[in-house]
Amino acid sequence: MAEVKVLIEGYTTADSVSSSGEEKTCPTITLVRDGDIIMVVDPGVLENQKMLVDKLKKEGLTIDDVNVVCITHSHIDHYRNIGMFPEAKTLEYFGLWDRNTVEDWKEQFTENIRIIKTPGHNYDSITLLVKTDNGIVAICGDVFWKEDFPKDDPYASDKEKLEESRKKVLEMADYIIPGHGKMFKVKNNQNLDRS
């Protein structure tokens, strides 16, 4: 089974921008280990990149140990720090990049990591479904910002597709790592289709 660990819990003040006039945001940054894969998902924006370097160090890793960086969608708050990992391949909607070459990714990326397209917040959103000892963890970017927030995503490119993506993720996952909050357990999960 793979291992999933939240390195930095994300946040957003997008729900209070109208009163303060300033939005602050950071995505939830996640580490996934599966066999030879050491992946960072959504390295995002940070006040200081050293924060991420230090979190990796606590896991016994350096920047150079990371061999895949996954971007859940193409909003800069999720991908700005991708340059921290110059030796890593990049996994995103359009393929798996190795420097200047790209190849299509397979939905079953590894034995324990499945990739699904989850449009709605943005047309190029993907979700990782990771089999762990505790169940399936969905790392879904802004399909969900936080648990139960926002009900109506003001930045969604297609609200109908977003609702479909949310339903799909909820049906397939035991836990969700949202785009800007802590991991949460899926409630009343039927998990009928694990294929």
Global pTM reads 0.93
Taking alpha carbons only, the member of 77, 81, 76 closest to residue 66 is: 81
* Residues 66-124: tens digit of each pLDDT: 999 999 999 999 999 999 999 999 999 999 999 999 999 999 999 999 999 999 999 99
* Residues 126-170: tens digit of each pLDDT: 999 999 999 999 999 999 999 988 888 988 999 999 999 999 999
Out of 20-29, 113-122, 152-161, 184-193, which region has the weakest mean confidence (pLDDT)? Answer: 184-193
Determine the Cα–Cα distance for residues 16 and 101; give it in Å rounded to an integer. Answer: 41
Architecture of domain 3-185: 4-Layer Sandwich (3.60)
Q: What residues does each domain of the chain span? A: 3-185
